[in-house]
Chain A
Amino acid sequence: MGTLYEDIVAYGGEVFGEEHMETLKACVQCGKCTGGCPSGRNTALRTRKLMQMALLDLREEIFNAPELWFCTTCFTCYERCPKGVKTTDIIRTIRNLAAKEGHMSVPHRMIGVYVLKTGHAVPIGPDQMKLREKVGLASQPPTTQHPDNKDQLEQVRTIFKSTNYDVMIDFDWDTMNLRGMEKKEGKK
């Protein structure tokens, strides 16, 4: 583990390329990102402040800030930054690092559970199958959630296992749920 900046460049770099992530150093703290941020109107999110915290290596502070999760990745700041700082991708990468260190809410972890169970973040239910039929569609599309496509769903699970996503959210393959969540099953 290096500084937060180094980790951002290394982890995000493997997806976006390192040069993309290194734009963080170009931030001059002008605040234009914050000025146009729709989240900042309603929440404590201050994009400029996040960039500064990342540069100052305030790892614990940034990982524990609830507003880190109030960015909708709208890319407004990304397009407007006069220094070409790839803000939104930097924020996504900081979230990745935070999640790896256990800073991930239960509802956010549950999205992974749905994908591991069905291949879909928003799976279908009996009511929606009826709605599909009402507009003349097959009750289920031939995606990973279709009972005929278990082998396809297995491929998605293989990807999640290969990147240890299941471990990150503490997924229990026996109960097909988050560990310790069995009792809440059926409430959703």
Chain B
Amino acid sequence: MTEDGREYAYFLGCITPNRYPGIEAATKKVFKEFGIETKEMVGASCCPAPGVFGSFDLHTWLPVAARNLAIAEEMELEIYVTCNGCYGSLQEADHLLKTHPHIKERVNKILAKFGREYKGTTKVNHSIVILHDVIGLDRLKEKIKKPLDDVNVAVHYGCHFLKPREVRGHGSSETPYILEDLIRVTGAKDVDYKDKLMCCGAGGGNRTADTPQSLEWTRQKLVNAIMAGCDCMVHPCAFCHLQLDRGQAEMNKAFGTSFNFPILFATQFIGLAMGYSQEELGLDIQTSTMPEKLLK
């Protein structure tokens, strides 16, 4: 336990550790600054993706998610995530298993085959909620060394952080505030733009079903942010990061565009304001590049 008694199991999922390790490094570094310790979840798997495996077979999706939850329960820790897909799956599965005893019983019959059990003793937290509610805006503000005063930010929430509301519990899905608060604490400005709450286009197997079509959503999203005068986009989801960042290379190839619009996960953005270099945050090992304005 750390001095303020906070220790979490970090549920990594797939995209964060296997495609954007900068998100993992940035989150661990920023959390550590506030005495929050991260423990690895040995044997964790894909969450599994809620829109994807949820679309193919919900009866498989649920026990795989329950197994991941059981690992954290065995560690006697709450979970944090850096992907809305992971949040979507694990929090929704936890909610369903806690509210439907007969479903829990059926799932536990499967987990019993290898000696595991879902009990309902952990909690699934999103990393940006830990920033906002556990660390808090005041403590965050104290650690801002390089205020990002003249930076205009397009906030992108992704879908499964806010919705469905009955599971997520972050208030209105039409007027959210958590990311906006986190942006303002760095001195930057969150700018409203057309269809700010629109999906990135990747989820639900859509990216796999028809990649160019899914990129068209992304293209609209980025054009809207650029038209509103934004310098970068900040979000809470590794899967959105893949679509918004690597998607730019894919769009430039497929549509002949020349996008290079900076995409940052929330802890990467805050990490810059706390004085970390882009190399320490893994912002130099992705598709979109960071402008001087963010690195000064």
Contacts and interface: CB of A to CB of B under 8 A. Distances in A.
Question: Could you tell me the dominant secondary structure of chain A's interface residues?
Answer: helix
Interface string B55-69: 111111111100100
Interface stretch (B42-50, B128-136, B137-145, B228-236): B42-50
Interface in A10-30: 11-12, 14-17
- Which of B48, B100, B116, B160: most chain A Cβ within 10 A? B48
Contact of A76 (B12, B40, B51, B163): B163
Given A73-B51, A115-B45, A135 B285 contact: yes
- Which of B56, B198, B280: most chain A Cβ within 10 A? B56
Contacts of B254: none
Given A14-B106, A15-B103, A16-B96, A155 B114 contact: yes
| Chain A interface bracket (under 10, 10 to 19, 20 to 34, 35 or more) | 35 or more
A159 B203 contact: no
Contact of B54 (A11, A92, A105, A163): A92
Contacts of A74: 159, 163, 198-199, 203-204
A126 to B, nearest CB: 12
Contacts, number: 228
A73 B60 contact: no
A119 B199 contact: no
Contacts of A173: none
Given A79-B173, A120-B46, A131 B62 contact: no
Given A120-B46, A159-B67, A162-B113, 17 more contacts: A12-B58, A17-B103, A43-B213, A72-B201, A76-B163, A78-B164, A79-B164, A79-B174, A119-B46, A132-B17, A135-B285, A142-B40, A142-B41, A144-B44, A152-B45, A158-B114, A162-B110
11 contacts: A14-B103, A17-B99, A72-B51, A75-B164, A119-B45, A131-B22, A142-B42, A142-B43, A158-B114, A160-B60, A163-B59
